[in-house]
Amino acid sequence: MKQIRNTHAKTEILNIINNSEVALSHADIQKKIGDMCNRVTIYRVLERLEKEGNIHKITNVDGVVNFAKCDHICQTDHHTHDHIHFNCEKCKTMICIENIAPAISLPEDFTVSSYNLVISGICPKCQNL
């Protein structure tokens, strides 16, 4: 069994993601973490957290990669997220919507290993502005 290394930066970044109601971009995380570590360290920590099954990444409609907590520990080699992601066109917030699982049906010759479904629109917060 591979030992999981915990560093102060890794712990802080995981706490930031776990305490967020929305998915966060690298830039969002860098703003929140401040001068604790540089951007390369943040990238490495995010990669490690994803490999360990603690977070998953979502690419929004603008091509920006966002990171969100895994509500359950995923396998280190496969994330199992049967939910959609909502990308607000106004505030650019990315939200995991856990209670809706899309039905994916492919021809029998295809094997699904993962999927990323992003719906674009206006979030409730922006509709009330």
pLDDT by residue (tens digit) across 84-128?
A: 889 999 998 988 887 777 777 889 898 877 677 888 999 999 998
Please state the residue numbers annotated as binding site. 78, 88, 91, 98, 123, 126
The CATH architecture of the domain made up of 8-127 is Orthogonal Bundle (1.10)
Q: Does residue 6 have a pLDDT over 80?
A: no
| Integer CA distances (angstroms), 96 to 31, 58, 71, 99, in order | 21, 9, 10, 9
Tell me the mean pLDDT in the region 23-35: 95
* Across 30-34, 41-45, 63-67, 103-107, least confident range: 103-107
Please state the residue numbers annotated as binding site for Zn(2+). 88, 91, 123, 126
Q: Does residue 69 have a pLDDT over 80?
A: yes
Please state the residue numbers annotated as binding site for Fe cation. 78, 98
- The residue extents of the domains of the chain are 8-127
